[in-house]
Amino acid sequence: MNIIDYGRYDHVRPLRWTGEALDLLDQRVLPFDVTYLACRSSDAVAEAIRNLVVRGAPAIGISAAWGVVLAARAVQAASGPEAAARLEPALQRLNAARPTAVNLAWALARMRASLATAGTDWLQVLEREAAAIEAGDLAANRAMGHLGAALVATGSGVLTHCNTGSLATAGFGTALGVIRAGVAEGRIGRVFATETRPWNQGARLTVWELQQDGIDATLIADSAAAHLMQTGQVQWVIVGADRICANGDTANKIGTCQLAIVAKHHGVKFMVVAPASTVDMDTADGSRIDIEERDPAELLSARGMRTVAEGVRAWNPVFDITPHGLIDAIVTERGVVERPDATRMRVFSES
């Protein structure tokens, strides 16, 4: 496959391994403060994942892999299997940091598998595996970008939700990677991004990230999405996923499902873009997914200042489920599944 060099649209990196620490770009303070947090232990990585210093399913998985390497630095063991037993508590703590993102468990499973047959060089084996997970994600993102952009007609307007770009991955991004590729190929004429309350990942991260790459984007309130589609300004909604089920149902940032419903009503196409590692063929449908809920206080304040009267209660689910019947295409680095259902998704269990 002939993939265009998209380097001019890919400048941001959310994490960097220094050899001694995992430096994470603190996404809680963007866009006004560009600061890296140095994590020198696996527990520090787990805390950073839990507290949204790093977010986005692929970036979480990559961070967890490097967290295993950090945990391994403190372990004395003669072989990989011996090290695996001693490292398991640290891996469990990493796995518990964000339960919905399947990439986290997937990356930890790869690290476990690499230990299972390792000898005395098990620490080097872990470091190579973590580096391979990171490099593989970047390559997959560029492949997805090319595949997804090919579905978009020249001159289209697109809407994206949350942040699915370089900040959420090893680089380039998933849904935002399709948008980057579409802009580079001259297919996408207009880009809109939702604020994505309550953490405002679209407002704080997505439009900032696109700005760094010279891509013009227009920010809208979450509640303006239906009107935007009604006016005919977008032809595609392009989003990511934290988990894709065997029938094509997807879990993604809260608010995704309502975008899919409105898109269906207005005849706007709906694309989900995620690495194949996000596909969970062991989960039959979206009803089986454990939806993470965060502190209701996140809805009651903004930037540390309370915005709601005392005594008001809040409910704060972080993800929702988009039924497969609302999805026009699922794009992974392995290819495109159009009109996904349990039959068409079998390609992931057969490959």
pLDDT (tens digit per residue) in 145-175: 999 999 999 999 999 999 999 999 999 999 9
CATH number attached to the domain at 7-140: 1.20.120.420
**H/E run at residue 280:** strand 279-280
For residues 180-187, average pLDDT: 95
User: Residue 293 gets which letter from DSSP?
Assistant: B
How does residue 4 score in pLDDT terms, banded at 50, 70 and 90?
low
Residue 1 has pLDDT above 50, yes or no: no
Residue 100 has pLDDT above 90, yes or no: no
User: What pLDDT does 128 receive?
Assistant: 97
CATH class of 144-350: alpha beta
User: What pLDDT does 274 receive?
Assistant: 95
The 10s digit of each residue's pLDDT in 126-141 is: 999 999 999 999 999 9
User: What pLDDT does 347 receive?
Assistant: 94
The 10s digit of each residue's pLDDT in 50-67 is: 999 999 889 999 999 999
C-alpha span between 82 and 76 (Å, rounded):
9
User: Residue 22 gets which letter from DSSP?
Assistant: E
- Among residues 23, 26, 137, 242, the one annotated as catalytic is 242
User: What pLDDT does 247 receive?
Assistant: 98
User: What pLDDT does 351 receive?
Assistant: 61
User: What pLDDT does 7 receive?
Assistant: 74
Residue 286 makes CB contacts below 8 A (sequence gap 6+) with: 245, 249, 250, 251, 321, 322, 323
CB 184 within 8 A of CB 177: no
Please give the order of strands across the beta sheet that includes 319-322: 279-280, 243-245, 250-253, 319-322
Max alpha carbon distance in the chain (Å)?
65
State the pTM of this model: 0.89
For residues 44-51, average pLDDT: 96
SS3 of residue 294 by DSSP = coil
What phi and psi, each to the nearest 5 degrees, are found at residue 140?
Answer: -65, -40
The 10s digit of each residue's pLDDT in 192-243 is: 999 999 989 999 999 999 999 999 999 999 999 999 999 999 999 999 999 9
Looking at every residue in the chain, the average pLDDT score rounds to 94
**Whole-Å CA distances, 14 to 53, 82, 106, 141, 170:** 10, 32, 20, 15, 7
What phi and psi, each to the nearest 5 degrees, are found at residue 116?
Answer: -60, -35
Tell me the domain boundaries of the chain: 7-140, 144-350
Q: What are the DSSP calls for 244-270, one per residue?
A: EETTS-EEEETTHHHHHHHHHHHT-EE
More confident residue, 142 or 5: 142
33 catalytic residue (yes or no): no
Domain pair 7-140 / 144-350, same fold: no
